[in-house]
Chain A
């Protein structure tokens, strides 16, 4: 079902590119009209990147990076995208259709070079290795700067910082690189406001009795639950809305744990990440709900018995331009219950 759509999008993108090349497309966007600095320099995951002019052929190596650039209206400066894990939201669909897909999954070094990029954006340093798209050193030698999201930078370099703030710093840095600072600044400001609003909602509706604990159920694979650990975004989301991630002590993003352990932590709420767009077994919210109610022990938990289960789009539980949406849902969901232990 998704494949023909994607193929269509890719074809449309190629067509647009062909039209642009013959001079019959590509109107200037707000971003394109931005004033380029003489020599822009940003720091990305421990490396200095310099730009004499804003990039014209950016390639994004994953969906998060793709959506950020689309949100900033930079589709006319993109030469390719890769590694789309789930559906592109409807509001980006038209812009996304203009950009060729160089690889539906993780891009190889050959695919990246064949797209002749002048700038590479990756959501994680893991995508820039020798057996994938090539290292940042190799790309630097080819005069192709590679930007790695501050959120996906190896952990030791982002200790202590809030993932939301790291995400906003990405917007601002990318805005600077593309000469689209005003729009990027607005995006960061809007999302900061959304975070502040969630914090406020939580503070106003808090009714004493300590912070409720939450288990985030991301996926169920082979009958084993994958939940949010202490290093991922949900941990920070919980803090913002005055709750506590029950698996904060596990220092991973999405550790695989046991149902017994979920039961032992006895959370006040369970947040289900709905991944039905991804469409693998155990991905939909309904399947996860079933897994909770059918498990002999977990089904006896108060959170399951009393239906204190929230559903949010799973993709938004990883840091992306859409994450503040899930944060809003979470703040609203916890508000209604107004409970304390």
Chain B
């Protein structure tokens, strides 16, 4: 655990195999010969005050994005209206806004923007963690089948009405997600949580629950229900309310902290089991812990706002490109970048096709694909 993260950027110090497979290559850009010269300055190499300033700047960008995004929506409230709502809510001496305008801003838009930030941070960090744990550049938070489980749970509640009153869609999705992850752990219980095995088992579990979702939809849903569920499956911030934001605001920071405390272990795992073990990392235990943390974070996110794609895949890669592969630096920046990315994509989803609102998952992919290609091109992968 005591390895200096800086060591990973100096390939000569590490016993790496001669022919690096592509995934590792993507995950550790510093291991490539050509990268060393022309790469942007890795954040970890800066002095401590510079690092702090850079992080504060990123945090300020997030704060600015949150403020700007609250202003954007299908109904135009205006800065004055927003100020009145917030002023009245904070007990300041202002003319209270009409109750419906207050509700529009306070009950719908604020929780929605905050939820986008929390979910974005959560998905980006989960993606970064799973990419390291499975040593797979294509890993994303839904790799473990959690989102498929959530879909199956949500569809069971919505279409079949099983536990509709007790659980609701969110509860059903959460139950489904945890069930899928439980099944994954059950299937993996006798193995050493080998990275390939995790990926394959996750795919299998995901396929199973996807099939169950389709089965329920095809067998019993009518066209309107199917459309409503499809909208939900693509991911939408619209159902965000203060109660779900509160739940996420408790779980997400906790999960991110645990992941960040495992930074060194993640650095080791990204190089492979042998390297990690030689660094004194309890590979199986750490992997299990990280799988549980990411599964819970993803389950909470998916249960609330559906399976928003691409954030967990692209943001870690983009951030790794900017700040380097050391997880101690990567994870906090991934969290900030994920939050900013989702806050803005959700704002776009709200107004791009106004007065219609489109699922945010569509926008994350539309914007994510070109950004991802840009990153790959800049790094010389394309």
Q: Which of A's residues lie within 8 Å of B, judged by CB?
A: 102-105, 108-111, 113-114, 116-117, 124, 126, 129-132, 134, 138, 142-144, 226, 252-255
Contact = CB atoms under 8 A, between A and B. Distances in A.
Given A111-B355, A130-B239, A254-B222, A142 B99 contact: yes
B100 A116 contact: yes
Interface string B101-115: 101100111000000
A119 to B, nearest CB: 12
Given A252-B220, A255-B222, 5 more contacts: A103-B355, A108-B238, A110-B108, A111-B355, A131-B239
Given A104-B355, A254-B223, A130 B232 contact: no
Contacts of A116: 98, 100-101
B75 interface: yes
Contact of A111 (B74, B98, B220, B231): B74
Contacts of B104: 109-110, 113-114
B357 interface: yes
Contact of B74 (A108, A131, A254): A108
B168 to A, nearest CB: 9
A232 to B, nearest CB: 9
B101 A113 contact: yes
B71 interface: no
B109 A110 contact: yes
Contacts, number: 71
A102 B101 CA distance: 15
Given A113-B100, A126-B224, A226-B223, A105 B356 contact: yes
Contacts of B76: 114
B195 interface: no
Contact of A110 (B73, B223, B231): B73
Contact of B108 (A103, A109, A117, A144): A109
Interface of B: 73-77, 98-101, 103-104, 107-109, 220, 222-225, 228, 231-232, 236, 238-239, 241, 355-357
A145 to B, nearest CB: 13
Contacts of B236: 131
Instruction: Name the residue among B75, B99, B220, B232 with the largest chain A CB count within 10 angstroms.
Output: B75
B241 A130 contact: yes
A9 B77 CA distance: 24
B222 A253 contact: yes
A124 B236 CA distance: 21
Contacts of B357: 108
B357 to A, nearest CB: 5
A253 B231 CA distance: 21
Contacts of B241: 130
Given A108-B74, A113-B103, A114-B104, A132 B222 contact: no
B89 to A, nearest CB: 15
Nearest to B306: A131
A109 B238 contact: yes
Contacts of B101: 113-114, 116
Nearest to B244: A130
Contacts of B108: 109-110, 113, 134
A103 B238 contact: no
Contacts of B228: 126, 129
A111 B238 CA distance: 12
B74 A110 contact: yes
Contacts of B74: 103, 108, 110-111, 114
Q: Give the 4 A-B residue pairs with the shortest CB-CB distance, closest first.
A: A114-B75, A130-B239, A131-B238, A113-B104
A254 B99 CA distance: 40
Given A131-B231, A255-B222, A103 B75 contact: no
Nearest to A124: B224
A143 B99 CA distance: 9
Contacts of B224: 124, 126
Contacts of B356: 103-105
Contacts of A129: 228, 239
Nearest to A138: B107
A277 to B, nearest CB: 17
19 contacts: A102-B355, A104-B356, A108-B238, A110-B108, A110-B109, A111-B74, A113-B100, A113-B104, A114-B74, A114-B77, A114-B101, A116-B98, A116-B100, A126-B224, A130-B239, A131-B232, A131-B238, A144-B100, A252-B222
Contacts of A255: 222
Nearest to A109: B108
A160 to B, nearest CB: 19
Given A103-B355, A110-B75, A255-B222, A132 B238 contact: yes
A114 B107 CA distance: 13
